[in-house]
Amino acid sequence: MRELLTREQLVLGVRRLAAEITEFYGDRPITIVGALTGSIVLLADLIRELPMPLRVGLVQAHSYRGKATTPGALVINSDLLPDLKDREVLLIDDIFDTGHTLFELVAQMKESRPRSLRSAVLLEKKGRREVNFRPDHVAFEIPDEFVVGYGLDYNDLYRNLPYLAVLEDQDLRGERPA
């Protein structure tokens, strides 16, 4: 693995993201919805940086399974969502790759008729967007490489890394121990 963003860079990026979100919302109460499972680390760190009153909800969305490094069919489970009607809602996700996950989540959440709905991601991959949609807030733009750490995984491994790393081809083939 090759380190792409250090722990310190991630901390500063989350603080920048929080400042941008705070500038937009001010002291208005918001409902933050984290897309499981990848956003869990970002969600925890981000809400500690936000000064406004907030509620937290979760939605499960996944398109990567097992050892896949390209997205498959999107599966969404919204059983853990709080009531969003007439609320200021901020959807948090770990990475904006092709954009299909965030695009579909936003479309589904709009059906709950929130007062407003915005999105924030830790990472946006350069040159991968396949939808006519962009996140409202982005902490980092990264190259088109498969990354793990800080909540992102490969085959359910590496989520606990405190930094962001690029998996090399030999890592994906399992030639090195994890």
User: For the chain, which domains are there?
Assistant: 2-169 (3.40.50.2020)
Nearest to 126 by CA among 150, 146, 143: 143
Report whether pLDDT(70) > 80. no
- pLDDT, mean over the chain: 90
Residues marked active site are found at: 97
Task: Tell me what pLDDT residue 66 has.
Answer: 54
- Name the pLDDT band for 177 (thresholds 50, 70, 90): very low
Instruction: Say how far apart CA 33 and CA 35 lie, in whole Å.
Output: 7
Using DSSP's 3-state secondary structure scheme, residue 58 falls into strand
Peptide bond into 69 cis (omega under 30): no
Q: Is residue 71's pLDDT more than 70?
A: no
Kindly report the pTM of this predicted structure. 0.87
| 3-state SS class at 102 | helix
CB 152 within 8 A of CB 164: yes
Coil vs helix vs strand at 10 = helix
Residue pair 34/40 in contact (Cβ under 8 Å)? The answer is: yes
For range 57-84, the mean pLDDT: 71
Instruction: Quickly state the pLDDT bin for 67 (edges 50, 70, 90).
Output: low
Name 48's Cβ contacts closer than 8 Å, sequence gap at least 6: none
CA–CA distance, 152 with 160 (Å, rounded to integer): 8
